[in-house]
Structure 1
Amino acid sequence: MIDKELFRKTEGRLYRYFRSLIEIDKLEHKANVLEEQENKIRQDIAEMNIFLEEESRSITYIRNEYKTLPQDLVMQKRK
């Protein structure tokens, strides 16, 4: 018959082993989900299926929205 100490140690090892298998399965599933998301994002970028709303676009400086003074007025103000 197995003594209590050996039984307790064996039971603990088995418990940790199966708990680690479950944890590994969870992590593998999460890795697969993230990999699918990455592939979807890469596919969207490649196909340019991305639409940016006007508010989320970066500022462009193509238009001159600021007023400039003529050079002679600037010189007059310096004097």
Structure 2
Amino acid sequence: MTGPRPAPDALRGLDVPVLLLLAGNSRTHDPTRVAARARELLPRVEVAVLPDVSHHALPQAAPPGLGRRLSEFLAGPGD
């Protein structure tokens, strides 16, 4: 994330589903720590750690399962 980070209280008040995709081989962020913090702050977060991809390669690499995760999330809960 660049620029100012949202205030913790603003994140706690966010009442929309959030999909957080983390790179399992990131040298920029600790995915376990980021996931834990997101779960503390975002009431409706779904976290997925994508193994075998780095922080900078995540957007371009299209790791296995990425398309499925995005499609499932965007489709919303099943009836």
TM-score higher than 0.5 here?
no
Q: Look at both structures and tell me which one has the larger radius of gyration over its CA atoms.
A: 1
The answer to which structure has the higher helix fraction is: 1
Greater length-normalized contact order (CA 8 Å, ≥ 6 residues apart): 2
User: TM-score, normalised to structure 1's length?
Assistant: 0.22
